[in-house]
A and B are shown apart, each in its own frame.
Chain A
Amino acid sequence: MSRTEKDRNSDSIRGGFPGLSRQIDLSRRNPNDAPPWSLDTKFRVVGTDVPRLDGMAKATGVAVYPSDFRPKGLLYAAILRSPIPKGKVAELDTSKADAAPGVMAVAVATGKGRQIRYVGQEIVAVAAETKALAEDALARIQLVLDADGDFVADPIVDARKNLPAVDPLPQSLQEAGARGEKEVELAMAFETQVQMHHPLEPHGITAMFHRDGSLEVWASTQGTFMMQRSLAQAFRLPSRRVHVLTPVMGGGFGSKLQAGIEARLCAELAMEAGRPVHCFVDRRGQALAMGNRPSSLHWIRAKANSGGEIVDWEAQSYGFPGFAGSGRVAYPTFYRGVRRPRHRDIRGNTGAARAFRAPGHPQGFFAAESMVDELACRLGIDPLEFRLKNVDPVHHMQLKMGAEAFGWKQRFNKKPGTPDKASSMLRGAGMACTRWGGMGGARARVLCRIHQDGTVEVRNGAQDIGTGTRTVLAVVTAETLGVDVKRIQAHIGDSQDPAGPSSGGSTTTPTLAPAIRHAAWLAGQELLGRVAEQKRIERKELSLEGGKILKGGKPFLSFSQACALIGPEPIEAMGQRYRNWRGFSGGVAGCQFAEVEVDPETGLVQVRRILAVQDCGTVIDKKTAESQVIGAIIQGLSYALFEERLVDAKLGRVLGTDLEHYRIAGSLEMPEIIPILNKGCNGHNNTGAAGIGEPPTIPTSAAIANAVRNAIGARVHRLPLTPDRVLEVLDRVHGGKQ
């Protein structure tokens, strides 16, 4: 390495935001890495609106999803699920199903003597010539269950009774308002519901064993390599003998981070039948067994002084993850004074919780941000001012920026509980903050090839769960080489390509982007080498800038001209994902503002607009990043107002397992959504990119709840904010005279 390059490595770059930046020490940077982007980098493609590369194929139905894939000789699987919430398999005889018409294989998931822990637990899977024949065969399975009546399907009911004491609920607007006291101490309870995982494409794979004994799988998964490892382990194959393909997939919010039992059963059936098997769970199976965001209960006691500082905070939380999984919650501890809750999980006989877009965060933030807001309301301080006093510098900057853009001053209702004269609606505004890690850093490699015809191929085997992975590959490559995005052919979702991360924790882009940049940068360096060789000039005279080859700083060759010199063998470079160095901050921050209208006659909440300020380090593609913010807000709104898994406690059964009856926000529920990307550079890797998939769904429900509080003059302590709950509070504080 030359001296000058070494010097550059021990240098520093500017990270953070315009107006809130600092120098970042690069001494821990790997000397082989590509030079890092910083806050001062001028981009050509990065940060612009690049339409999703596969958007057209997806929108027009051309894209082949894993559940669409139909290889020759395909069989279809159906799964028999437990009809009881607790007990044991006493007898299981599948011989009649085996002999049923069209049935080619049977695989047992829960055999004789094994425990049943929830309604929906997989017992047997059958593969047959058609889905209908497979379903018919299930009816022939002789299953005797030893039911245990001692189950708990809804443990939150008892937990509610055992919470520490809370303040009496205000019976009038006056009681709910500020009482001119110097300091305020409150003890309150909050509650959140179970939200179901309902990706458009349900969980599943299509599996086939080839003659050589290797396994090929088309998987709707959030981790192609995770799926590869899991199946390899289950079938005692070396990883390289399991080939996972996920060219596109129909969404995942955390539940597809594991190779579920349906994947293992599918491969088992394929092995037994010696034919490909399609095993995708139906909507009911999806609702019962594919995970959820667990419900939670919170008790918080907090105190704020006359100066508007939070001076005391004590909290106890409970999570209800079902028979397994975690119900842990996270609180916004970036507020001065806010502390983590003591936590306990209480299990029950329903399907297990799984990671769900920012696990634990919307639950905890709803409770804690409600409490923070209530302290402000009772002190009679504007919730914006109150937050500004208690928050860290990045949130401080974002809150000011968001409040200005949102028009907080005009929209915040100074007389909560009084209807708007013109519309007779109750209007209000609320806010909440968010924070998330999302710095990425798992091992990843990216292959970049530059071809003689001037096209550039980039490859990584990771999947795209909707965040735009393919587009990120193209944008970072195009920027690094200085060429047009159209030149780039990006390939993803194939475990035979270089390793990439699972898409969880908002880490896909921050993990891959630096490896893509490294690969493209190496390939560009090699291109210069080839040019020097061919033109018999000194390598160090050449540089690559803005898609042109410069000689002694002057234009020398176009990119295409340079590529023409490569020869038939393409340039091939393998980029690495080096470890993070200490960037501007260890996470991303944001805040959201909501405006709502509440109908005093019905209690119905209509969200009018939501404005989000969100940081994600360097914005790679503005369009897909904004889409993430918008989608996260939609999901957060749906959680705030509608989604709620209903369980019949006596039967131990989930009710309304289809999409017609599980309420999810639709087109008519959509507010105006304004995403403001707080552009900056986190500077912890060579691109400065950080994650964005999860953080913007964290504060939405709290912001809406706080807006409802501002509209109606008192607080609803429980999600979702259904009209009956809102009307109950209205009737209480208005003496039924609304």
Chain B
Amino acid sequence: MKAFEYARPQNLSQALEQGGTFKAGGVDLLSRMKRGTLSVKKLVDISALQDLRFAPVLKKGELWIGAGLPLARLLEAGPLLPQGIRQAAAGTATPQIRNQASLVGNLLQEKRCLYLLDPEISCLGNGGKGCPARDGHHAELAILEPSPCLAIQASNLAPILCALDARLFEFQGKDNLRSLRAFYQDWRKQGERPKLPLTHSIRIPAASLRGGSAHHEVRVKQSFDWAIATAAAHLVLDGDRVARASLWLGSVSDIPYQAKKVEQALQGKAPTDFKKALALLDSDFELHSPQQDWKRKMALLCAEKALRKSYDNAKEQR
């Protein structure tokens, strides 16, 4: 690891004065620094800031969650936490990681590809040319809306928070409430992660707290690993029928993927029609090779299970 400066502010005003790279749990950041794929001049450790570590609270009808809250602490929240968020946090890796990993750190984790781990490989994913994964190992890479670089965003919390249309609340700037969906879109457009000022919290609008939600995932290995595919659904019901649907998939593209066609097709439908709607998702897959066929099946399975679980959850919520 290269030498770097280090600061650990004890309060917000100190933190806001510091310029540098924020380190929350450091799970993502430090492993990249150790691997030699990231070098940082100055690390500003924000893990001591209690202001960022608050548990979910209802404020003005919205649900606010501290940006720095470790996922393990998120799991301690009561019934005001949507089921989908709980399931996504519970599935993330293993207790050791959940104790360390912060909510916003999880959303901001780098994209994943085995080739990206090797500092000696130059490719589109790190500013170079070409994509060796296409001729090599890409079984776990993008299968929906693939960019030239097939690396994936594998955050567990991202799909559910997108489904719930969460906002990032930042300390600085004029327009300091940023849509998470737009943030990922910008990430895709700019080709690199948009610079974020210190983020205070995640805010879930009141409208998203109605109805039911769920997260489903499939992973090759249950401990210390990322998921192959995840899906998060949020359904608002009108009687037994779907009034509003939101379905987002994770680990399948460079940013969380919104299954818009499925969402539209579900409008006004009963759960018996989920399979039919999901066929529309199936037709959207763009596999680079048959290596990815299992991943495709798992993404479909996750979507179906997330929809069913959120439907059940929505019924319970009434």
Binding site for B on A (CB under 8 A): 83, 131-132, 135-136, 284, 601-604, 642, 646, 648-651, 653, 655-658, 660-661, 663, 665-669, 722-724, 727-728
Contact = CB atoms under 8 A, between A and B. Distances in A.
A651 B94 contact: no
Interface of B: 1-3, 31, 35, 94, 114-115, 117-118, 120-121, 132, 135-137, 139, 218, 220-225, 293-294, 297-298, 301
Nearest to A132: B3
The 4 closest A-B pairs by CB, nearest first: A666-B223, A724-B294, A668-B222, A668-B223
Contacts of A655: 114-115, 117-118, 136-137
B62 to A, nearest CB: 35
A669 B222 contact: yes
Contacts of B35: 284, 658
Contacts of A651: 121, 132, 136
B162 to A, nearest CB: 24
A660 B223 contact: no
B243 to A, nearest CB: 29
25 contacts: A83-B120, A132-B2, A284-B35, A602-B298, A642-B220, A646-B137, A648-B132, A648-B136, A648-B137, A651-B121, A651-B136, A653-B121, A655-B136, A657-B117, A658-B31, A660-B31, A660-B224, A661-B117, A663-B221, A663-B225, A666-B94, A668-B94, A669-B223, A723-B220, A724-B139
B224 A666 contact: yes
Nearest to B136: A648
A722 B220 contact: yes
A136 B220 CA distance: 37
B135 A650 contact: yes
Given A132-B1, A655-B115, A666 B222 contact: yes
A657 B119 CA distance: 11
A727 B223 CA distance: 21
Given A132-B1, A666-B223, A646 B114 contact: yes
B117 A656 contact: yes
A602 B114 contact: no
A669 to B, nearest CB: 6
Contact of B301 (A602, A724, A728): A602
Given A602-B301, A665-B221, A666-B223, A135 B2 contact: yes
Contact of A136 (B2, B139, B225): B2
Nearest to B119: A284
Contacts of B118: 653, 655, 657
B126 to A, nearest CB: 14
Contact of A656 (B1, B114, B222): B114
A661 B294 contact: no
Given A602-B298, A655-B136, A724-B293, 17 more contacts: A131-B1, A135-B1, A136-B2, A284-B35, A601-B301, A642-B220, A646-B114, A651-B136, A656-B114, A657-B117, A663-B221, A663-B225, A666-B225, A668-B221, A668-B223, A669-B221, A722-B220
B137 A667 contact: no
Contact of B136 (A650, A666, A667, A669): A650
Contacts of A646: 114, 137
- Determine which residue in B2, B118, B222, B301 has the highest number of CB atoms from chain A within 10 A of its CB, and name it: B118
Contacts of A658: 31, 35, 117
A157 to B, nearest CB: 12
Contacts of B2: 132, 135-136
Nearest to A282: B34
A287 B31 CA distance: 16
Nearest to A726: B294
B221 A603 contact: no
A53 to B, nearest CB: 29
Nearest to B97: A660
Given A601-B301, A651-B132, A656-B117, A666 B137 contact: no
B58 to A, nearest CB: 34
Contacts, number: 80
Contacts of B114: 646, 655-656, 661
Given A650-B136, A653-B118, A661-B114, A667 B218 contact: no
A649 B136 contact: yes
Nearest to A722: B220
A226 to B, nearest CB: 32
A701 B222 CA distance: 19
Nearest to A603: B294
A445 to B, nearest CB: 44
A663 B35 CA distance: 17
Contacts of A83: 120
Contacts of B224: 660, 666
A723 B94 contact: no
Nearest to A655: B114
Given A602-B301, A651-B121, A658-B117, A663 B220 contact: yes
A284 B35 CA distance: 9
A663 B225 CA distance: 8
A85 to B, nearest CB: 12
B223 A667 contact: yes
A454 B179 CA distance: 76
Nearest to B3: A132
Contact of A667 (B94, B117, B135, B297): B94
B90 to A, nearest CB: 12
- Determine which residue in A132, A136, A666, A727 has the highest number of CB atoms from chain B within 10 A of its CB, and name it: A666
A389 to B, nearest CB: 38
A289 to B, nearest CB: 14
B289 to A, nearest CB: 13
Contacts of B221: 642, 663, 665-666, 668-669
Nearest to A119: B120
Contacts of B94: 666-668
B295 to A, nearest CB: 8
A602 B223 CA distance: 17
A132 B220 CA distance: 36
Contacts of A724: 139, 293-294
Contacts of B3: 132
A447 to B, nearest CB: 44
Contacts of A601: 301
B85 to A, nearest CB: 21
A152 to B, nearest CB: 15
A724 B293 CA distance: 8
B124 to A, nearest CB: 15
Contacts of B223: 665-669
Contacts of A669: 221-223
Nearest to B228: A723
B291 to A, nearest CB: 9
A54 B297 CA distance: 49
A151 to B, nearest CB: 15
A723 B120 CA distance: 31
Contacts of A602: 218, 298, 301
Nearest to B115: A655
A354 to B, nearest CB: 23
Nearest to B301: A601
A727 B94 CA distance: 26
A650 B137 CA distance: 11
A727 B220 CA distance: 12
A285 to B, nearest CB: 12
B21 to A, nearest CB: 18
Contacts of A131: 1
A399 to B, nearest CB: 31
A132 B36 CA distance: 11
Contacts of B225: 663, 666
A642 B218 CA distance: 15
A667 B137 CA distance: 27
A602 B135 CA distance: 26
A661 B34 CA distance: 14
A660 B293 CA distance: 24
A728 B218 CA distance: 16
Nearest to A660: B31
Nearest to A284: B35
Nearest to B120: A83
Contacts of A603: 294
